[in-house]
């Protein structure tokens, strides 16, 4: 990649956006200021049929030549809009960046430097809240809590596939091809990047890493209710798709707290899930959260988030056909998923 005496690798940055809101201009302007050789840089901004004025704002801009703005004729959804942009990407390294992220001029160089280290095929960068955002308990959990996501890992070692999110992610061309694109049947929040990351991890075991060096500022504000609603929706709608296709992912994704695998071991796990995430305890701890200061509130948010996912998955399971209708999704007796 960036060996001494060799030109820097060509980089394609893909940034999809839908209804960017009042702070999108800052995010767009930041990718236009990226400091990287212009003949080696391609920035692809894809507006997913925004309806809040974002498209009109983009159409008035005169970005530098390395920035290309695409306008699909209709809304493609989270997976579709990424795939749309990726089809235009020609770089040796591909960076996926959420459209509500602001970056510094050295952002691409930081990704290239970190991804060029031996053995690395995919690199997750860090995300920090934008300065204007109030440091709520949820914000501290999302961006500071050491027990959440890739922050649990040392930067010198690989991370698990379930932590490789696509909001600030760099990939080699080989890793992108191994990922195979995003599943466009995932139209609701969450899960499409999990399958994408899992495909990469199978092709390149121990090739997924995390670094705080390529940092992005997040401009999207949400409250706890929205956060938990998205977790519940993921558990109800998208997590079942993942477990149906890949039963072996049930344990790392906490789905075995509710998914009806046969066998004594899994019955015990479902019983534990029923006890840990019952409705009374869940709403008691949600009420307790209101009077719990940080950092003690972060473990509570973690519990509520997992609980919302499990409750959503449990709702899906109650609506499933009888066991004889999903034999193909079961794990054999005595086997681990």
pLDDT tens sequence across 72-81: 999 999 999 9
Q: What is the CATH number of the domain that holds 142?
A: 3.90.550.10
231 in a structural domain: yes
Please give the residue that has the higher pLDDT: either 86 or 1: 86
pLDDT confidence tier of residue 3, bands split at 50, 70 and 90: low
Cβ of 281: how many Cβ atoms within 10 Å?
13
Residues 120 and 193 in one domain: yes
Cβ of 225: how many Cβ atoms within 10 Å?
10
Residues 167 and 235 in one domain: no
38 in a structural domain: yes
Residues 245 and 325 in one domain: yes
Give the lowest-confidence range in 9-18, 21-30, 45-54, 229-238.
Answer: 21-30
Residues 202 and 246 in one domain: no
318 in a structural domain: yes
CA pair distance 180, 182, nearest whole angstrom: 7
Domain edge (last residue) among 173, 200, 218: 218
Residues 81 and 193 in one domain: yes
The reported pTM is: 0.91
The per-residue pLDDT for range 225-270, each reduced to its tens digit, is 999 999 999 999 999 999 999 999 999 999 999 999 999 999 999 9
Percent of the chain topping pLDDT 90: 85
Residues 126 and 260 in one domain: no
pLDDT confidence tier of residue 6, bands split at 50, 70 and 90: confident
Residues 267 and 307 in one domain: yes
* pLDDT at 336 exceeding the cut of 50: no
311 in a structural domain: yes
Q: Which tokens belong to 191?
A: 């899960």
337 in a structural domain: no
* Per-residue pLDDT, 337: 44
Q: Are 112 and 29 in contact (CB under 8 A)?
A: no
5 in a structural domain: no
Looking at the 3D structure of the chain, how many domains does it have?
Answer: 2
4 in a structural domain: no
pLDDT confidence tier of residue 153, bands split at 50, 70 and 90: confident
175 in a structural domain: yes
Query: Which domain, by its residues, includes 206?
Result: 11-218
* pLDDT at 333 exceeding the cut of 50: no
* Per-residue pLDDT, 335: 43
* pLDDT at 131 exceeding the cut of 60: yes
Residues 157 and 266 in one domain: no
Query: Of the candidates 99, 104, 108, 120, which has an alpha carbon nearest to the alpha carbon of residue 54?
Result: 99
Domain edge (last residue) among 218, 243, 258: 218
* pLDDT at 121 exceeding the cut of 90: yes
């Amino acid at each position: 990649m960036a060996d001494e005496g060799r030109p820097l690798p060509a980089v394609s940055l893909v940034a999809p956006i839908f209804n960017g809101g009042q702070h999108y201009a800052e995010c767009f302007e930041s990718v236009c200021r990226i400091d990287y050789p212009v003949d080696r840089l391609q920035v692809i901004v894809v507006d997913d049929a925004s309806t809040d004025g974002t498209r009109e704002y983009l159409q008035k801009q005169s970005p530098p030549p390395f920035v290309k703005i695409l306008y699909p004729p209709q809304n493609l959804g989270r997976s579709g809009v990424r795939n749309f942009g990726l089809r235009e990407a020609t770089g040796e390294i591909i960076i996926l960046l959420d459209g509500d992220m602001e970056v510094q001029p050295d952002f691409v160089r930081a990704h290239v430097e970190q991804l060029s280290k031996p053995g690395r095929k995919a690199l997750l960068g860090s995300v920090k809240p934008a300065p204007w955002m109030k440091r709520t308990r949820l914000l501290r959990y999302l961006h500071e809590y050491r027990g959440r996501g890739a922050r649990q890992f040392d930067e010198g070692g690989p991370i698990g596939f379930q932590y490789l999110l696509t909001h600030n992610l760099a990939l080699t061309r080989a890793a992108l091809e191994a990922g195979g694109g995003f599943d466009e049947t995932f139209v609701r929040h969450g899960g499409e990047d999990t399958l994408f990351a899992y495909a990469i991890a199978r092709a390149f075991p121990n090739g997924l890493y995390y670094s705080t060096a390529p940092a992005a500022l997040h401009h999207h504000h949400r409250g706890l209710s929205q956060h938990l609603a998205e977790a519940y929706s993921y558990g109800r709608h998208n997590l079942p798709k993942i477990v149906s296709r890949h039963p072996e992912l049930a344990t790392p994704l906490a789905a075995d707290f509710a998914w009806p695998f046969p066998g004594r071991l899994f019955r015990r796990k479902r019983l534990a899930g029923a006890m840990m995430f019952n409705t009374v305890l869940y709403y008691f701890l949600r009420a307790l959260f209101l009077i719990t200061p940080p950092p003690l509130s972060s473990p509570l948010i973690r519990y509520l988030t997992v609980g919302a996912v499990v409750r959503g998955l449990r709702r899906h399971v109650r609506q499933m056909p009888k066991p004889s209708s999903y034999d193909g999704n079961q794990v054999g007796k005595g086997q681990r998923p």
